[in-house]
Amino acid sequence: MSLSTFEGKSVLVVGGGTRDGIGFATAQMLAEQGARIALADLDGERVRELVADLPGGERHSAHALDVTDEAAIAHVVEAVVQNHGALDGLVVAAGLYSPESFTTTSRATWDRMFAVNATGAFLVSQTVAKHMLERGRGRIVLVASIGARQPQLTAAAYGASKAAVIQLGRYMALELARKNITVNIVCPGSTATSMMGTDPVRHEIAINGNLAQWRLGIPLGRMAQAADQAAAITFLLGETGRHITGQVVTVDGGQSFL
């Protein structure tokens, strides 16, 4: 494989079922560089529609997947390996968000955040890593959030679950390094996706800051696009990122810098 393409490589992108999301933007970027994409998300019909829009659609596959269902994960990974021949890369971008404060967060919300964001990342990564261990190589990127590193006055369960993803990824990186498997974590800042919403007031607050929420603004003066996050993920999955592992890469326009 050349340093600039993914020709002949297969990548499973979990959490790619939203057109404006980070997962699908990553799938698009990888597909443009020749990768075979296995796109997975909870809504199988939507995933099939999105896969049809990827460059080289005939070489890709779509999969309905609940990341909290261990048996379903095993079935999807087996199907991907059979269909694509191998798995060279994994992106875990599946996630739920809740804006509730710590004192208003219900036990049900807390459990759901951790089940999808943290346990889901663990189950998918573990299943794929076992396949990669057999091959002696692979690249894994977990998507966390600056909310895991920079607290504010809302989204306690979300931030805590994403913090767990960061530490999970670092443990994975240490354990898998000797088998030529890299593991890195990307922490997006405020990004213009469905999760962030389209309210211009909310975008302005993200850019300029909001002292009421103990949240600083974005020094670069603009929201990130999903493609900005995809670029970092793609770099870490490619040969140019082959000597990077166990790192937390923050893509936030300086939002957590100050």
Residue 201: inside a domain, yes or no? no
The 10 Å Cβ neighbour count of residue 85 is: 11
Domain count for the chain, please give it: 1
The whole-number mean pLDDT for each consecutive block of 10 residues of the chain, a chain of 258 residues, reads 73 96 97 97 96 93 98 98 95 95 96 98 98 97 94 91 98 98 95 64 55 67 91 97 97 79
Residue 198: inside a domain, yes or no? no
For 174, the domain range is 10-190+226-251
Residue 214: per-residue pLDDT:
52
CATH of the domain at 45: 3.40.50.720
Residue 1: per-residue pLDDT:
37
Residue 224: per-residue pLDDT:
86
Select which of 24, 97, 114, 158 is catalytic.
158
Please report the DSSP string for 85-115 in residue order: S---EEEE---------TTT--HHHHHHHII
Residue 17: inside a domain, yes or no? yes
Residue 223: per-residue pLDDT:
82
Residue 217: per-residue pLDDT:
80
Please report the DSSP string for 6-40 in residue order: -TT-EEEEES--STTSHHHHHHHHHHHTT-EEEEE
Residue 203: inside a domain, yes or no? no
Residue 219: per-residue pLDDT:
83
Residue 83: per-residue pLDDT:
92
Catalytic annotation on 171? no
Specify whether the CB–CB gap between 146 and 187 falls below 8 A. yes
